Amino acid sequence: DGGITQSPKYLFRKEGQNVTLSCEQNLNHDAMYWYRQDPGQGLRLIYYSQIVNDFQKGDIAEGYSVSREKKESFPLTVTSAQKNPTAFYLCASSSTYGGQPQHFGDGTRLSIL
Amino acid sequence: QQQVKQSPQSLIVQKGGISIINCAYENTAFDYFPWYQQFPGKGPALLIAIRPDVSEKKEGRFTISFNKSAKQFSLHIMDSQPGDSATYFCAAGSSGTYKYIFGTGTRLKVLA
């Protein structure tokens, strides 16, 4: 079955630590996205990538970094510069050029120790 | 200009009733309006979407109504079922871009 796999499901970060969230897709989609979801708020775009080796900042990119070395993979690093990282992080993909996210993973919940 | 306002925040409907969720946007450049369904602990799933050249789109029990002049669009869930209990998000964006603005979500509970 095609889909998006996010890991881990739960992640804890210590102060000053960088953590990396994994996102893998086997849908052969070109576009991939990272969103942050906070309680009572809509999804907010962190980064997106249209093709391999290319990515663009979304609305809340500060304190985050990404890479896109393979079509299937789009990992997100939450750096120590992100002062409020506690949230539910969602990875998504799209097959359409310039389109809305079509498929989402089941998310990673990040908390601060 | 980038906001999408969604209401109500929560909704309780009896089984078999109609659930109605409303969204309003400000940016007239938006030309694609998807709706997503999210169950607890899961990622959202694309449910249905509409372009402003049509006033209504129906897929099964789900219907989107679109009012371009009022810059509003709504999701109607006919014959609501307990399995429809989830959080629903509207979104708006422009074709050819990857930046979609999401509403704040509506938590729907359908009573058996």
Q: Mutate one of B38, B98, B107 to test the A interface: name it (highest A CB count within 10 A).
A: B98
Residue in the block written with tokens 């897709």:
A25
CA of A108 vs chain B CAs: smallest distance (Å): 9
* Domain range annotation of chain B: 4-111
Per-residue pLDDT averaged across B80-107, rounded?
Answer: 93
To the nearest whole number, what is the mean pLDDT of chain A?
92
Per-residue pLDDT averaged across A83-109, rounded?
Answer: 89
pLDDT for B44 beyond 90 = yes
What percent of chain B clears pLDDT 90, i.e. is strictly above it? 85
The pLDDT-based confidence of A1 (bands split at 50, 70, 90) is: low
Residue that wins the pLDDT comparison between A96 and A109: A109
Contacts of A64 (CB under 8 A, 6+ apart): A34, A46, A47, A76, A77, A78, A79, A82
With contact defined as beta carbons under 8 Å apart, do A82 and A62 qualify? yes
pLDDT for B1 beyond 80 = no
CATH superfamily label, B4-111: Immunoglobulins (2.60.40.10)
pLDDT for A35 beyond 60 = yes
Per-residue pLDDT averaged across B57-68, rounded?
Answer: 95
Q: Which residues in chain B have their CB less than 8 angstroms from residue A101's CB?
A: 46, 100
